[in-house]
Amino acid sequence: MKPAERRLLQELPTLRRHMASSGVLALLGAVLVVAQASLLAALLADGFDGHLAPGTALAALGGVLALRAALAWARGMLAQRAAADAKRALRERITGRLRDTGPLKLASRPRGETATLLTRGLDALDPYVTGYLPTMTAAVVVPATIVAWLLGTDWSSALVIMLTLPLIPVFGALVGMHTAQRTARQWTLLSRLGGHFTDVIAGLPTLRAFGRAEHQTRVVREMADAHRRATMRTLRVAFLSSFVLETVATLSVALVAVPVGLRLLGGHTDLHTALTVLFLAPEAYLPLRAAGAAFHDGAEGVTVAEKVFALLDEAPPALRAADRRTPPDARTAPLRLAQVTVRHPGRAAPAVDRFSLDVRPGEHIALTGPSGAGKSTLLALLLGFVTPESGRVTVGGTDLALLDPDAWRAQVAWVPQHPHLFAASVADNIRLGRPAASDTEVRRAARAAFADGFIDALPQGYDTRLGERGTGLSAGQRQRLALARAFCKDAPVLLLDEPTAHLDADSEAAVTRATVRLMHGRTAIVVAHRTSLLPHADRVITIAAGRPAPQQPAPAEGPVRS
Amino acid sequence: MTATPTPRPAPASAPPPRRGDALAPRAGDAGAPAPGDVAPAAPGDAGVPHPGDARTQYAAGARTQHPTARLLGHLLPHWRRLLPAALAAAGSELASAALMATAAWLITRAAQQPPITAVSLAIVAVRALALGRGALRYSDRLLGHDGVLRAVAHFRARVYEALVPLAPAGSPAFRSGDLLTRLLDDVDAVQDLLLRVLFPLASAAAVAAATTGVTAALLPQAGLLQGTLLVVAGLLVPFLVLTVSRQAGHAHKAARAELADLTLDLTQGAADLAAYGAGHAAATRAHHAAGRIAVLERRGALTTSLAGAAVLLLQGAATLGVTWLALRAHAAGTLPAVHITVLAVLALVSFETLTALPAAARRYADIRARAGRLACLFDTPPPVTEPAAPAQLPADGQLGVDITGLRVRHHPGVPPVLDGVTLRLLPGRRTVLLGASGSGKSTLIAALMRFVDYEAGSVRVAGRELREAAGTDVRRVITGMTQDAHVFHTTIRANLLLARPDARDTDLCEAARRARLLEWIESLPDGWETVLGEDGAAMSGGQRRRLLLARALLADPPVLVLDEPTEGLDPHTASAVLSDLLDATRGRTTLLVTHEQAGLSAADRIVTLDDGRIRPADPPLA
């Protein structure tokens, strides 16, 4: 059992219960199989002797058959419910843990990766839970029950089955090992050939750009053919395991049926026993054959489990809110960065390098500098999204790392460069920071951010649904919506990341007026690239390569301008 | 590439590919599958009357075929390989049924204690069938997979051909890795349709028909009973499963889409949620969505597991009924004693292969959805209409581009991305186009390369309107490094040669040198033969950009376009790459699109794209 599989069973009690219940159901099923075989054999043996079966015998057999069907229904239903519960538990754990991962790390992941894992990805657990797990228990319980029964009825047949049954896993493992070696040797080739199609499709825009798309049609076919030949080479060996499985299973039926027939000829046994043995022999092998077929499902389920656990283990649980201090009131507490250094993973140069800054309550500071200079990182520091490698960020003298982050952020309104639109109405997007805000307050915030104009023009106004599947907005509209969010939140500290980027001249003037109004009476740190906001700042700090730059940069020289 | 090229000529059944051929039913190609062929293949499909969307899709237009029928159309050319595989599959199941029936006969006959010669043939038959079953199963699986993989190879080529005119603007799969993965997964629907639906169905049909035939020969009324129950279990039950899973599918889909949306909000919007203290509420909403999915799945479990039970119940009814009929016939003296057991066993085994069908039906519900998406793909009109009689474009020399009043809209009904763009790319000059993300810079490049059409305005090269020339000719003149430029999972050499297959080694070295990549390539142990990882994962971001730049320089088009060549690089590397790039393109018509402002001092001209229009650039700050 792989570690991920063991952990899956350890951490999800519903799966342990499922294993236990499917064991019990398998046992019941085996008992019913034995009953069915014995009753049918009796019915047929009596008929052979010329006695027409009594109604009770028929009714008993009918009852057993109906019970088997009911049991199959229960088995299927319980298995699917276990799968649903297991997936729900994993989904809730993942969504619950996302907050601990940290926004910057989440944003750096491929878009939609987690969403895919949570929906389609986890579905690979279905065959694992409904197929693989129950067959694994059944493969032990059912043959044991049947052999035990046969030992009492016809020990020589039981012996044949007992001797041949272990051949299946043994041969299966031998063939499996051999296949694994061969596949491992062919793996690079196989994955390269198999991946070719993906590669070519992903690169199709490039192929077209260089006029090579038509040429590749032939290559796609050739590679797919080469992939087929390589796959078939592997399959010729891999299918040997199913060959062994089927042959052992069917051969054993012959090994049981022929001697029993010969003993009948000699008068050493009776027809009832012989038929019971004939009916039961294949049933003993059935779960093992099913297990062989479900093996692949098991492997896929484990792969998903590994992905899930990798995601869950990624984020160490953060300090709980209870261990953190309540932040001081930002209306009176100064903000301070002291010799702060931040390095992004995988980058040699620090994003912020021994940077110091004191911000008095109510002060307005503009940060300028080329993109990538570390301006946005400074805002992320003040929000507690990144922790400094060295140096301290303090609020009223207390280290930000010791404060309850939610309580601190409650005093901050942030307008990011690329605000996210949530899959909710425009109004709900605006009241993100204050869910209790009334419609009037939402509209007032939108008006203040000069967003009311375009919102009113939307198909359903403030009720228009935004987000992935909803209405898209232009960059400037997003920006104004984010400003409306900040207005609505009405927090004492403002962190604005280029609030007037993406805006045309008219909107820029309007939004500048709105922003200046918003900044009034609040502490504000504004990243401003080329903006009319600069004159409204108490201080302008230019940053280059994570350090405060010496005063005004030399004007750029040279290029001819149109 | 390492694979040995296929010497085998293309099979006669594959005519030269033309878009559309693969889709429309062809008269000479066995045409659209005959209803009789399809009926056993897919319950609820063409053959079986079905009130649902199958009929509405047929009604939608005479040319519109059912998606599964279209998928089957792609399989027809391979019938020579698929038929033996299906026969072998049926053969191995038949062998298994025959083994049980013969063994039952042997045992019952032996109970009459005849001389051994009376049963010796049966003994041989039992042993032969036992041995043969494994061999048949082995060959069925090999033949089946070989045929399926051949069909898949053929189908992949068709999908590729359908995608060519759509790349990159015509299909969202080129914009989202997730959708691309899904598309590739959909392509495998062919494989699943054969291995998980059609082959099991063929085996089940063969076993049911053969066993019922034998039963009917021994005792006609038993044959009738068994046949009726088999039809119910083999057709009606899977059909109901299909209907139920399709209905459940809609509710599930909505619940899943909701969870996916909420998860996307939780991941992509994590910063906004944290800053606005809304993280807990969003996580709670996602929990509720997960809960709703679980409730739907638990509810669905009640009905879906009924199907398996129903088949077992029908099997039981058949066994009981046939046995009773046989016993009665024997008592009446019309049936030899030996046949009672044989009939009972035949009734039992005739259902064995049917137990796989409810699962196949569930699988088919999914395959249908995938086939439907593929059909949509095949039906997507290309975003650019090619002219019927393309005008010739000059292929070399120093060319300029005149863009006047260009208007481009991604979809009808949405505001245009570019509206009134007027820009002149002077011959031999390097123009830098600045603009915030989302301002339409990449759309302008796509319009120049004829990946998207323009609805108003004009783009002229050497006085010729681009729209009047063939797209491939335009891209011979205007090409370069697009934003979605791909590094192929092959050698560095092959990655570069793509741009100019006839380039000599000296050309390669020169392009690499100018992109400042040569040193790195020569430092690698395998040099030019180094295989690059999936999408260039083994390289750093800067090396990847330089490789793409070298490729664009090697292509050496009269008009070179470079879209965001420094995207994703740290500021230091970005400005190094930018200034190298401006150096390397000195004296050639170049359009460089970027949002970086540093490192542009060598440009001949800088303009800004803003709100769909060109305006003179602001002075850069650094």
* B260 vs A119, A203, A349: nearest CB: A119
pLDDT in tens, B150-161: 988 888 888 999
The partner residues of A560 in beta bridges, in order of sequence, read B605
H helix and E strand count, chain B: 21, 10
A211 touching B, CB under 8 A? yes
Q: According to DSSP H, which parts of B112-198 are helical?
A: 117-163, 177-187, 189-192
Contact A251 B131 (CB under 8 A): yes
User: Is the CB of residue A82 less than 8 Å from the CB of residue A18?
Assistant: yes
A185 touching B, CB under 8 A? no
A interface test, pick of B259, B272, B327 with most A CB neighbours within 10 Å = B272
Q: What pLDDT sits at residue A503? A: 65
B167 vs B162: CA distance, rounded Å: 10
Distance of CA A122 to the CA centre of its chain: 7
Q: Find, in chain A, the residue whose alpha carbon is nearest to that of B534.
A: A199
A349 touching B, CB under 8 A? yes
Q: What pLDDT sits at residue A111? A: 67
Task: Calculate what percentage of chain B has a pLDDT beyond 90.
Answer: 27
Q: What pLDDT sits at residue A324? A: 73
pLDDT in tens, B448-476: 999 999 988 999 988 888 889 998 889 99
Q: What pLDDT sits at residue A198? A: 84
Q: With 90 as the cut, is the pLDDT of residue B212 above it?
A: yes
Contact A204 B620 (CB under 8 A): no
A170 touching B, CB under 8 A? no
A485 touching B, CB under 8 A? yes
User: Is the CB of residue A297 less than 8 Å from the CB of residue A127?
Assistant: yes
Q: Which domains does chain B have, with CATH numbers?
A: 62-233+301-379 (1.20.1560.10), 401-486+542-616 (3.40.50.300)
Mean pLDDT score, B45-61: 29
Residues 6 or more apart whose CB falls under 8 angstroms from that of B222 comprise B215, B216, B321, B322, B325, B326, B329, B343, B347
Lowest mean pLDDT among B99-108, B318-327, B335-344, B412-421: B412-421
**Which of the given ranges, A272-276, B34-38, B426-430, has the highest pLDDT on average?**
A272-276
Task: Look up the ipTM and state it.
Answer: 0.82
Sort out which chain A residues have CB atoms less than 8 A from B574's CB and list them. Answer: 372
Give me Rg for the CA atoms of chain A: 35
Between residues A106 and B369, the one the model is more confident about: B369
Distance from CA of B210 to the nearest CA of A (A): 20
Q: What pLDDT sits at residue B569? A: 64
What is the average pLDDT score of chain B?
Answer: 81
Q: Find, in chain A, the residue whose alpha carbon is nearest to that of B266.
A: A98
Contact B602 A558 (CB under 8 A): yes
A265 touching B, CB under 8 A? yes
B325 vs B340: CA distance, rounded Å: 9
Q: Find, in chain A, the residue whose alpha carbon is nearest to that of B132.
A: A247
In the three-class reduction of DSSP (H, G, I as helix; E, B as strand; rest coil), residue A140 is classed as helix
A528 vs A537: CA distance, rounded Å: 10
Distance from CA of B203 to the nearest CA of A (A): 16
B465 vs B402: CA distance, rounded Å: 9
Smallest CA-to-CA distance from B43 within B194, B242, B307 is with B242
Contact B137 A475 (CB under 8 A): no
A33 vs A279: CA distance, rounded Å: 9
Name residues 80-119 of chain A within 8 A of B (Cβ). 80-81, 83-85, 87-88, 91-92, 95-96, 98-99, 101-104, 106-107, 109-116, 118-119
Q: With 80 as the cut, is the pLDDT of residue A505 above it?
A: no
Q: What pLDDT sits at residue A427? A: 93
Lowest mean pLDDT among A173-177, A271-275, A435-439, A489-493: A173-177
At B544, list the tokens. 């990847």
In the three-class reduction of DSSP (H, G, I as helix; E, B as strand; rest coil), residue B106 is classed as helix
Around A246, how many Cα atoms within 13 Å sit in the side-chain half-sphere? 24
A345 touching B, CB under 8 A? no
User: Is the CB of residue A543 less than 8 Å from the CB of residue A367?
Assistant: yes
Determine if the pTM surpasses 0.80.
Answer: no
Smallest CA-to-CA distance from A383 within A425, A415, A350 is with A415
Between residues A522 and A315, the one the model is more confident about: A522
User: Is the CB of residue A196 less than 8 Å from the CB of residue B534?
Assistant: no
The CB density around residue A349, as the number of other CB atoms within 10 Å, is: 15
Q: What pLDDT sits at residue B29? A: 32
A71 vs A30: CA distance, rounded Å: 11
**Which of the given ranges, A203-212, A244-253, B224-233, has the highest pLDDT on average?**
B224-233
B456 vs B406: CA distance, rounded Å: 6
User: Is the CB of residue A149 less than 8 Å from the CB of residue A298?
Assistant: no
A505 touching B, CB under 8 A? no
Mean pLDDT score, B220-240: 95
Q: With 70 as the cut, is the pLDDT of residue A562 above it?
A: no
Q: What pLDDT sits at residue B218? A: 95
Q: What pLDDT sits at residue B5? A: 35
pLDDT in tens, A345-394: 666 678 888 888 899 998 999 988 776 678 888 888 898 888 888 889 99
Residues 6 or more apart whose CB falls under 8 angstroms from that of A171 comprise A241, A244, A245, A248
Task: Calculate what percentage of chain A has a pLDDT beyond 90.
Answer: 27
At A503, list the tokens. 């805006």
Task: Calculate what percentage of chain B has a pLDDT beyond 70.
Answer: 85
A interface test, pick of B107, B150, B196, B386 with most A CB neighbours within 10 Å = B107
Smallest CA-to-CA distance from B422 within B449, B399, B444, B450 is with B444
Sort out which chain A residues have CB atoms less than 8 A from B305's CB and list them. Answer: 72-77, 79-80
In the three-class reduction of DSSP (H, G, I as helix; E, B as strand; rest coil), residue B482 is classed as coil
